[in-house]
Amino acid sequence: MKAFALPILALMLSGNAAAGDPAHGKQLLEEHCTQCHDSSVYTRKDRFITSKEALSKQVHRCAINSGAQWFDEDVADVVNYLNATYYKFK
């Protein structure tokens, strides 16, 4: 598992997560993420995601925990959608 996680983490930290497709990210979020929580997790005042890098790591963790079979591009798409819609990180 570690050998698989390191390349993904390196890709996310390299800035490639910024190149995602938000429409595809919205579709993935609606299919997978809303099984565990609604959008209030993104808008609460005490949210712990404070950077785009932290958002990328959390989306990756959630994908693994939910059993989603996402590629790096899928994670980037969800990150791009969430950032454009809720977080607004630069």
pLDDT in tens, 67-86: 999 999 999 999 999 999 99
Predicted confidence (pLDDT) at residue 87 exceeds the cutoff of 90: yes
Alpha carbons 69 and 58: distance in angstroms, whole number: 15
Predicted confidence (pLDDT) at residue 1 exceeds the cutoff of 90: no
In this structure, are residues 49 and 34 in contact, taking their beta carbons and an 8 Å threshold? no
What is the pTM (predicted TM-score) of this model?
0.77
Angstrom distances, CA of residue 10 to CA of 29, 34, 70, 71? 23, 27, 16, 14
20 vs 30 pLDDT, higher one: 30
Alpha carbons 1 and 85: distance in angstroms, whole number: 32
